[in-house]
Amino acid sequence: MIYKSLDEIVSNMQKCSDKKRMVVAGAEENHTLEAVSLARKEGLISAILVGDSERISQILIDLGEDCSEYEIIHSPENPVDIAVQLVRENKADVLMKGNVQTATLIKSVLNKDTGIMKGELLSHVLFVQAPAYHKIFAVTDSAIIPNPDLSQKKAILENAVEAMMSLGCDVPKVAALTAVEVVNPKMQETIDADELKKFNQNGKIKNCIVEGPISMDIAFDKDAGDIKGFTSPVVGDPDILLMPNLLVGNIAVKTLKIFGQSTVAGLVLGATAPIVLTSRSTSTRSKYMSIALGAAIAPIAD
């Protein structure tokens, strides 16, 4: 299934009888609880709230919520480890950052003894609904790995492919973006993109089609591909944009939001559960959409 909008994902999740269980670390934060309460009322999740129970309850009351509809765990001093433990024990399907430091949450997730890592590394995937494009696509990585090497790019790509497949995209099309369409020894990103394409062709990267090096205009515009004589099933129809580094990815997604009027929602992937990790400035709607995506992607815990 190819989703044309984030709202379609929400609608599909509302039809599911089994609601995913989301745990929020440091839940005593207004905008976070506003998004969580909306997702619960819309039938997307059930929620476990870890943190200062008195503050959590007061915020819920101010939002007009019934506190008995939530599981609230009082742990104002150590909400992160408790939230991660619940995921580790298969008592939660999605992890969300609330009023806690990002570094603290990531450290707990990465802990070799008590953490919840599944893949080789954590990476950020931003799902984009752009008015000028015919379907949702993913941008990665724009928030975690500053200058990924080839092996890290492979892992970042594989995290995104798994996520897109969980959303029903059987064989995601990946554009390994660079400034040009040919390998240039002076541009390491073109060498990496070419290697990733070869990995895909020889079976080292599975369940997707990787094209690269490829420029942004050719990736999205079939006419541009035709003019430049660039033929690929990815041209005009990418599902995943693999960025050469965090700087390019970060600028790209902010440009899509500000000038492209795109709706975006992001997740951190690579752990046993999707992680909703948004900044304090993120809108309630974007947080809500990120929760919906986390619920859609997460496998049901045993």
Token pair of 195, please? 């290697």
Q: Which of 70, 28, 68 is nearest to 51 (CA)?
A: 28
In this structure, the answer to whether residues 112 and 44 fall within a common structural domain is: yes
Q: Which residues form the domain of 23?
A: 6-118+271-297
**pTM score, two decimals?**
0.93
Classify residue 135 by its DSSP letter. S
Look up the CATH number of the domain holding residue 38: 3.40.50.10950
In this structure, the answer to whether residues 134 and 20 fall within a common structural domain is: no
Token pair of 97, please? 């950052």
Classify residue 301 by its DSSP letter. P
- Give the per-residue pLDDT at 302: 52
Residue 205 lies in a domain: yes
In this structure, the answer to whether residues 197 and 244 fall within a common structural domain is: yes
In this structure, the answer to whether residues 85 and 188 fall within a common structural domain is: no
- pLDDT tier for residue 159 given thresholds of 50, 70 and 90: very high
Dist CA 222 CA 214 (whole Å): 12
Residue 82 lies in a domain: yes
In this structure, the answer to whether residues 236 and 291 fall within a common structural domain is: no
In this structure, the answer to whether residues 239 and 158 fall within a common structural domain is: yes
Q: Which of 44, 30, 43 is nearest to 98 (CA)?
A: 30
DSSP SS3 for 203: coil
- Give the per-residue pLDDT at 301: 53
pLDDT tens, residue by residue, 265-277:
999 999 999 999 9
Q: What's the domain count of the chain?
A: 2
Q: Is the pLDDT score of 280 beyond 70?
A: no
Burial 52-78 (b: 16+ CB within 10 A, else e): bbebbbebbeeeebeeeebebbebeee
Dist CA 288 CA 117 (whole Å): 24
Across the chain, mean pLDDT equals 93
In this structure, the answer to whether residues 81 and 111 fall within a common structural domain is: yes
Percent of the chain clearing pLDDT 90 (strictly above)? 84
